[in-house]
Structure 1
Amino acid sequence: MKKNSQPDYKRIYSDIIDQKFPHKKAECEALLGKTILSAMDILELNKRIFNTKDHEIKKMNQKLRSYHTSDILRILNYQKNHSMSNSCVAQHFGLSKNTIAKWKKLFKQ
């Protein structure tokens, strides 16, 4: 039996919506309909369900966040498409500018 390396966020958020916030089910249906939830999707679900502001999300659990390669490439593509500096992207996504620089070196973007 293969063990999952991360929690089943789809199930967790579905249960939260069903039990505590049934009026927000339609708003979150598109994100929960995806087969795989990225880190960005999970942050968006948090924002929609709990009505947290962007600056609150960025401060919450910053040290405990982890990103998959696909999430990192998505952030770096966002930077490239919007012609943003490392510090602007870092501020937008609530990261360190050093993290962005490290990712750029790792993925040669």
Structure 2
Amino acid sequence: MANDIFEVERALFGNSNFVDNQKLKSYDETTIKIVLNHQKENNLTNIELSNHYKISRNTIAKWKKIYQYSNI
């Protein structure tokens, strides 16, 4: 899964290189659902979730519309 790939990238290259490559990443449906479930389970806002996973708030909002996740 994409989440596993990000963990390996962080371990190999550290956070500085990881931040530089944010424009190039993509997510599969399973990973998107994991991220959105993480938000639900931990009662996170879109801002908190975007900071944790380094994803745009707009991307998270779009995913929630597509996959019909409601705000908690």
Work out whether the TM-score is over 0.5.
yes
Larger-gyration structure (1/2): 1
Deviation at 1:49, TM superposition (A): 2.7
Deviation per CA, 1:17-37: give whole Å up to 9, x if none. Answer: xxxxxxxxxxxxxxxxxxxxx
Which structure 1 residue ranges, 5 or more long, are not aligned? Answer: 1-37
Q: Flag the structure with more relative contact order, 1 or 2, with Cα contacts below 8 A and sequence separation at least 6.
A: 2
Task: State whether structure 2 residue 25 is matched by structure 1 residue 41.
Answer: no
Which structure 2 residue ranges, 5 or more long, are not aligned? Answer: none
Give the residue type in structure 2 aligned to 1:41: D
1:1-109 equivalence runs, <5 A: 38-50=1-13, 52-53=14-15, 56=16, 57=18, 59-109=19-69
1:44 aligned counterpart, secondary structure? helix
Deviation per CA, 1:42-95: give whole Å up to 9, x if none. Answer: 111122233x03xx22x2221110000000000000000000000110010001
TM-score by length of 1: 0.59
Runs of 4+ with >6 A deviation = none
Give % identity. 40
* Residue correspondences, number: 68
Structure (1 or 2) with the greater helix fraction:
2
- The alignment's C-alpha RMSD in Å is 1.0
TM-score by length of 2: 0.87
